[in-house]
Amino acid sequence: MSMSEESKQQRHKERQQKVKENVDKKIANAQVEKGLLLIITGNGKGKSTSGFGTVARASDTAKSVQ
């Protein structure tokens, strides 16, 4: 490899490291737990089934169901 290609690779590596640090900061700041409210409406069947399925999945993953 020539010097210019090595320096390009080095600069690229440094830029990517900065990008990774910024992404890691955003991920660390986004670790706030929030609640979720689902409103299921409409005519016909399926609303209760959907609600019970959501509760079953939430309880299976140890989420709080109120």
C-alpha 52/C-alpha 39 separation (Å) is 13
Q: Is the pLDDT at 65 greater than 70, yes or no?
A: no
* Residue-wise pLDDT tens digits, 5-14: 889 999 999 9
Helix, strand, or coil here: 40? coil
Q: Does 60 have pLDDT greater than 80?
A: no
| Cα 47 from Cα 63, distance rounded (Å) | 21
Segment 13-47, tens digit of pLDDT = 999 999 999 999 998 888 877 777 888 898 988 89
